[in-house]
Amino acid sequence: MTMKPLLEFTLELLRLRRGPQDLPYSPALTALLFGAAVIADLMLDAVVLHEPAAFGRVAVADGLMLALPYLALAVAGRQARYVQTLAAICILSIVFAVLLAPVLMVQPTEAKATVTTLQSLAALVGLGIVSWQVLVQGHVLRHALETSLGVGVLVALGFFAVSVTIGSFLFPQASS
């Protein structure tokens, strides 16, 4: 898949008009997208957030990005869809890391810092972006699991909750 069709697919995926089944079955493309997602996540954690445990946090979060869809597909008996599902989830990880970077750059760096109007607005925009990410990931999971959008979103929320919980447990300094 060349860059132009991949970009067109991404835009359609973000609009909920395409799903993982529209990607080619390509372990090489999925591996490339996973590598790009890891780099995007590292840039977000290390450069934007100045997170000292960036490598560990990204290893855990992206390890969960590999494991959770596989487990969900295995439970549903649809493991054959893993490569395309993971590719779509990696695309979302890249896109939303890029979208969240400017929002996170204006957040206060100290817990007791006075929050400005711009920071409050950025927090609302960030919430909207994360909500959109969960919706689109739910859309991907709906197609992969052959279920309703509501169930797909619930599974995506479950993935998000597991990732945040494990990340907060393993890296509590980043949560404060």
Domain count across the chain: 1
Name the region of 77 (left: φ>0; alpha: ψ -120 to 50; beta: rest).
left
Question: Are 133 and 159 contacting, i.e. CB atoms less than 8 angstroms apart?
Answer: no
- Model pLDDT for residues 92-122, shown as the tens digit of each residue: 999 999 999 999 888 766 666 677 888 889 8
Q: What tokens appear for 129 in the block?
A: 């972006």
- Model pLDDT for residues 7-54, shown as the tens digit of each residue: 999 999 999 999 999 999 999 999 999 999 999 999 998 888 788 888
Q: What tokens appear for 41 in the block?
A: 């996540």
With a threshold of 0.85, does the pTM exceed it? yes
Residue 133's domain comprises 3-175
